[in-house]
């Protein structure tokens, strides 16, 4: 596997060059990842990408191809290049588990180590967490909106080709049933699905011919796309060709709420009472909510989920908060609230409902009944101790999110804009 070390901003390495010169490169540092706010009136965010960060960290090394590129760029001294050849991350990483929810100020990831170990990870850590958490945060709202109805992720064509794979993973983590993306199936074990597009119908001399070909190849349990020409005729042809055992019909255009009712009635009248209705076409969490009363069996969601439904990046930052045990912060940020390494617990009523996110510097907050510690060890002394792979931990993250969402106050699951589901309380250093 190629190194991930060049997926990095140039200044991380020029800072390293300068810090090697000043001797500060060996200072013991803590960097924290957090979001100052949730996007756009959202009530909660969903942490995703942590396991991908750990994957990328395992491949983060200044091997010969990387050093050659850096040499060619001509910015770093020969001394620094030699130093980088021996670079290893030997520090610790702690963080919120994938599938945990987060709020403004939640210390989502904490990296401790020497400055030179920790600073160079900034760009890659943020790229992964900001992307995957943005997708998972939007996806979770869609899943809540859809209730028991499954959602298929089909947005691969509306984002960068590798972002598509990560998006499919993040959406599944947040509760989507499956993805259209084949590589996400291979790489992470996300269930894949899909049957046909309008092109397939157009390719044949008639819709009936296309449906016959598809049923012959994929069986009567397949999903036939019925809106290439006339939907009513399409449904009639679909049931005539496949019989009442037809698995599903998909509608990708038009007024979906009206069409779902009409198509359900038509299917039932044709005896295809078990044939499911799959809707797609510019759906987002609000479109899904608007279809709650419609006879829908599954949703396909594309653009809106891979683009974080209007908030395509989570806005997390990677901030140096402690140097050799001393809290540090920019002037514009209060050291009292932001300097120093943080601990985080979520506080709950005896009923299990979350009441607040408590973040403290200097040590864990004083324990109260119903507290749940939110940070888990991910790397110790450079060795991964968190989820063994970005694929194997996916089901656990999915289950965890399901449990956490149930623990939020009910208004915290609302789609409308508002405050975070629970407030974040920052305790001053003890």
In sign, the C-alpha dihedral spanning 262, 268, 269, 270 is positive
Residue 295 falls in which region: left (phi positive, over 0), alpha (psi -120 to 50) or beta: beta
Beta strand 92-96 with 375-380 is antiparallel
Q: Could you say whether residue 8 binds its own copies (CB under 8 A)?
A: yes
Interface region with its own copies, contact rule CB under 8 A, candidates 98-106, 222-230, 261-269, 369-377: 222-230
Q: Could you say whether residue 161 binds its own copies (CB under 8 A)?
A: yes
CA–CA gap between residue 299 and residue 277 (Å, rounded): 9
End-to-end CA distance of the chain: 45
Q: What residues from 88 to 117 belong to the interface with its own copies (CB under 8 A)? A: 115
Q: Could you say whether residue 17 binds its own copies (CB under 8 A)?
A: yes
Q: What residues from 29 to 88 belong to the interface with its own copies (CB under 8 A)? A: 29, 31, 56, 69-70, 72-73, 75, 77
Q: Could you say whether residue 420 binds its own copies (CB under 8 A)?
A: no
State the minimum distance, in angstroms, from the CB of residue 214 to its own copies: 5
Interface region with its own copies, contact rule CB under 8 A, candidates 163-171, 260-268, 290-298, 352-360: 163-171
Burial degree of 368 (CB within 10 A; 0-12, 13-18, 19+): exposed
Q: Could you say whether residue 229 binds its own copies (CB under 8 A)?
A: yes
CA–CA gap between residue 259 and residue 117 (Å, rounded): 57
Q: Could you say whether residue 331 binds its own copies (CB under 8 A)?
A: yes
CB 154 within 8 A of CB 74: no
Q: Could you say whether residue 165 binds its own copies (CB under 8 A)?
A: yes
Q: Could you say whether residue 157 binds its own copies (CB under 8 A)?
A: yes
Total residues in contact with its own copies, by rule CB under 8 A: 94
State the minimum distance, in angstroms, from the CB of residue 61 to its own copies: 14
Interface region with its own copies, contact rule CB under 8 A, candidates 93-101, 287-295, 315-323, 340-348: 315-323
State the minimum distance, in angstroms, from the CB of residue 317 to its own copies: 8
The conformation of residue 369, written as its DSSP 8-state character, comes to: T
Q: What residues from 380 to 419 belong to the interface with its own copies (CB under 8 A)? A: none
Q: Could you say whether residue 19 binds its own copies (CB under 8 A)?
A: yes
Strand, helix or coil for residue 152: strand
CA–CA gap between residue 127 and residue 104 (Å, rounded): 18
CB 100 within 8 A of CB 404: yes
Residue 16 structure tokens: 């390293």
CA–CA gap between residue 98 and residue 395 (Å, rounded): 10
Interface region with its own copies, contact rule CB under 8 A, candidates 155-163, 268-276, 370-378, 400-408: 155-163
Q: What residues from 182 to 201 belong to the interface with its own copies (CB under 8 A)? A: 182-183, 185-186, 192-200
Q: 129, 118, 125, 148: which is closest to 16 by C-alpha?
A: 118
């Amino acid at each position: 596997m190629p190194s991930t070390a060049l997926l990095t901003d140039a200044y991380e390495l020029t800072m390293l060059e300068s810090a090697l010169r000043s001797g500060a490169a060996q200072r013991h540092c803590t960097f924290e990842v957090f979001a100052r706010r949730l996007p756009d009136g959202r009530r909660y965010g969903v942490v995703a990408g942590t396991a991908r960060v750990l994957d990328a960290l395992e491949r983060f090394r200044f091997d010969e191809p990387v050093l050659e590129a850096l040499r060619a760029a001509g910015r770093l001294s020969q001394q620094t290049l030699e130093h980088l050849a021996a670079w290893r991350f030997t520090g610790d990483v702690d963080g919120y588990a994938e599938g945990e929810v987060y709020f403004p100020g939640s210390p989502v990831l904490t990296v401790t180590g020497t400055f030179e170990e920790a600073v160079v990870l900034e760009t890659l850590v943020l790229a992964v967490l900001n992307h995957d958490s943005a997708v998972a945060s939007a996806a979770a709202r869609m899943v809540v909106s859809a209730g028991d109805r499954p959602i298929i992720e089909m947005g691969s064509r509306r984002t960068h080709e590798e972002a598509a794979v990560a998006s499919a993973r993040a959406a599944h983590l947040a509760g989507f049933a499956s993805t259209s993306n084949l590589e996400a199936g291979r790489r992470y074990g996300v269930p894949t699905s899909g049957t046909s597009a309008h092109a397939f119908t157009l390719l044949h001399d008639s819709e009936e011919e296309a449906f016959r070909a598809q049923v012959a190849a994929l069986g009567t349990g397949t999903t036939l796309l019925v809106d290439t020409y006339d939907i009513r005729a399409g449904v009639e042809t679909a049931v005539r060709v496949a019989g009442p055992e037809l698995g599903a019909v998909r509608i990708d255009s038009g007024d979906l709420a009206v069409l779902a009712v009409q198509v359900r009635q038509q299917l039932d009248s044709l005896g295809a009472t078990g044939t499911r209705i799959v809707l797609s076409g510019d759906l987002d969490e609000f479109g899904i909510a608007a279809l709650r009363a419609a006879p829908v069996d599954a949703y396909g969601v594309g653009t809106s989920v891979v683009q974080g439904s209007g908030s395509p990046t989570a806005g997390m930052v990677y901030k140096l908060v402690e140097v050799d045990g001393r809290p540090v912060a920019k002037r514009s940020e209060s050291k009292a609230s932001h300097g120093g390494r943080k601990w985080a617990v979520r506080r709950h009523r005896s009923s299990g409902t979350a009441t607040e996110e408590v973040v403290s510097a200097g040590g864990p907050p004083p324990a109260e009944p119903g507290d749940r510690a939110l940070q888990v060890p991910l790397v110790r002394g450079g060795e991964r101790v968190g989820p063994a792979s970005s694929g194997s931990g996916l089901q656990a993250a999915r289950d965890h999110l399901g449990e956490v969402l149930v623990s939020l106050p009910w208004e915290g699951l609302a789609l409308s804009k508002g405050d975070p589901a629970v407030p974040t309380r920052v305790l001053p250093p003890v």
